[in-house]
Amino acid sequence: MRSVSRAGGLRWPGAFVLGLTLLVACRPAREQPPRKAPSAAARVVLDGGLAAPRPPSLPVVFPLRPAPGGRYLQDQRGVPFLIKGESAWLALANLTEAEQEAYLADRAARGFNLIEVMLTNHDYTRPPNPIPPANRRGEQPFQSPGDLSAPLDAYFDRALGFVDRAAAHGIAVLLAPNYLGFDGAEEGWWKPLLAPANTREVCAGFGAYLGARFRDRRNLLWLAGGDFAPPAGSEGEARHAAIIDAIRTAGASQPWTGHWNVDHLGGISTDQRRFAPGMDLNGVYQYAQPYRFAMRAYDLQPPRPVFLLESTYEHEHPGGNTQPFRKAWWWTMLSGGAGVVWSNFFLWRCESARGTYSADYGDTDRSVSSWKEELDSPGTRQVVLLHRFFEALPWYRLVPSGRSGVDGVASGQRWGQGHIAAAGTVEHDLIVAYVPPTGSERRRFVLDLSDLPAPGRARWFDPVGGTYLDDRELPARAGEVTFEVPGRNAAGDDDWVLLVEVNPR
């Protein structure tokens, strides 16, 4: 661990110096007796609590585009667009139109503004849901299975209907036109893409069909890949590229991002050389340390909006720590992110049937929950709190630790699962730091607030309960200030968010 503070001899001229000197987190972790969470009397609930109505806001004016400077998306009025996304991969296949409407209405009411889906499902669904690739009406996407030369209008018209319903709710759709499938196996279309009949010319024809059909949808964004990166120089890469290029050539000018292998070196959209020039957004697909990949994406030139495209889903790995999905969101947002896409094992599958089956990821048998039963899951509530936290701030002004203008905003523990992510503004009036859970001793660290330009205050935010506590007044040029996490949050974990503001509202 490297201390960053004036006392330690490091001073960053002209920057908002925030040296986080971690005092205990580098000790060997050991179990501690459960700590009592702060009392309810000490808490102030964000926006009046989870049940509070959302504040009125102007509707999004599509299409979206990168803002000047390239760090985030904005709508046609120039309003910053915080990506508040959810993966509902199988919504087009597994939900009826009425169910799609109910799902979209619920997500819009909770503030979600982007839904990620695959255009055609190859293998995920189990009976009594539709047998892939049919949708709930029994409509097939192709005249013959896997034959891209003969798409059927009825199926794709139904998909257009979903995009239009989403637009009516102010929701963007991130659409994978040719989802390849994890590791190029049976889950996706990688193997059918390599069939002799699906030549590059046939793939280009399919892309032109999709481009002509979807080009007028202003709330659309496109997703290349899908859990798999085609080998560089392969015929499959050329065919996938032919689909993408033809979509653009047909007049579909919406932004693109890419979803490649989670284990691939990098895990960001621009890591595939063949597709990198066409990536308008840089999505992070990483489970262990998404902050490292978010920072690498942030540093690339030219700048692109960075967002969490996928990390651990709720309920997906029940044998381990149930917390990592929350940690991934906060790490990404404070490492240059302009939003997150999350999901839940049952929500992304969009399955209505109940039953028991062996999960896809090596876990034990589990009871299958209906997607409707998960609309108000703990993960949903926690990601809504993340949205509300950042929407209450000028989040688009935040610059991650160690970057231009905020060189002194540095975490006390770098890398590893104890990494403290921090971001601040070049105006020196806002700091946000996320202290991840360790399950051991309370973490204490020092912030050097010598460049705080005016009086302000520091507050702890509970990312599970949505409460603020420990309101602490700070003078201008406060110098070195020691903070200690308050204890257990509402979930019994010990991760917290520190907010330092000048002249807060």
Q: What is the pLDDT of residues 187-236, one digit of tens each?
A: 999 999 999 999 999 999 999 999 999 999 999 999 999 999 999 999 99
pLDDT at residue 112, as a whole number: 98
Do 405 and 366 lie in a common domain? no
CATH number at residue 332: 3.20.20.80
Lowest-confidence pick of 78-92, 114-128, 170-184, 212-226: 114-128
- Kindly indicate the confidence band of residue 48, based on its pLDDT and cuts at 50, 70 and 90: very low
Q: Please report where in the chains the tokens 């793939």 appear, as a residue.
A: 203
Q: Say how far apart CA 373 and CA 334 lie, in whole Å.
A: 31
Tell me, yes or no, whether 4 lies in a domain: no
Supply the range of the domain harboring residue 354: 62-397
Tell me, yes or no, whether 3 lies in a domain: no
What is the model's pTM? Answer: 0.88
Domain boundary among 381, 397, 413: 397
Tell me, yes or no, whether 8 lies in a domain: no
Cβ–Cβ < 8 Å for 462, 489: yes
Q: Say how far apart CA 241 and CA 220 lie, in whole Å.
A: 19
Say if residue 379's pLDDT is above 60. Answer: yes
> Which amino acid, 469?
L
Do 378 and 423 lie in a common domain? no
What integer is the mean pLDDT of 341-368? 65
Which has the closest alpha carbon to 83: 250, 279, 221, 277? 221
CB atoms within 10 A of CB 503: 10
Do 195 and 228 lie in a common domain? yes
Domain count, the chain: 2
Cα Rg, the chain, nearest whole Å:
23
Do 476 and 340 lie in a common domain? no
Lowest-confidence pick of 4-13, 156-165, 368-377, 418-427: 4-13
Do 434 and 354 lie in a common domain? no
Q: Say how far apart CA 217 and CA 262 lie, in whole Å.
A: 29
Tell me, yes or no, whether 265 lies in a domain: yes
Q: What is the pLDDT of residues 96-114, one digit of tens each?
A: 999 999 999 999 999 999 9
Do 429 and 383 lie in a common domain? no
Tell me, yes or no, whether 480 lies in a domain: yes
Lowest-confidence pick of 165-179, 280-294, 321-335: 321-335
Q: Say how far apart CA 177 and CA 206 lie, in whole Å.
A: 10
Do 220 and 180 lie in a common domain? yes
Do 355 and 429 lie in a common domain? no
Show Cβ contacts of residue 223 under 8 Å, excluding neighbours closer than 6 positions.
Answer: 116, 174, 175, 176, 177, 256, 257, 258, 259
Do 362 and 441 lie in a common domain? no
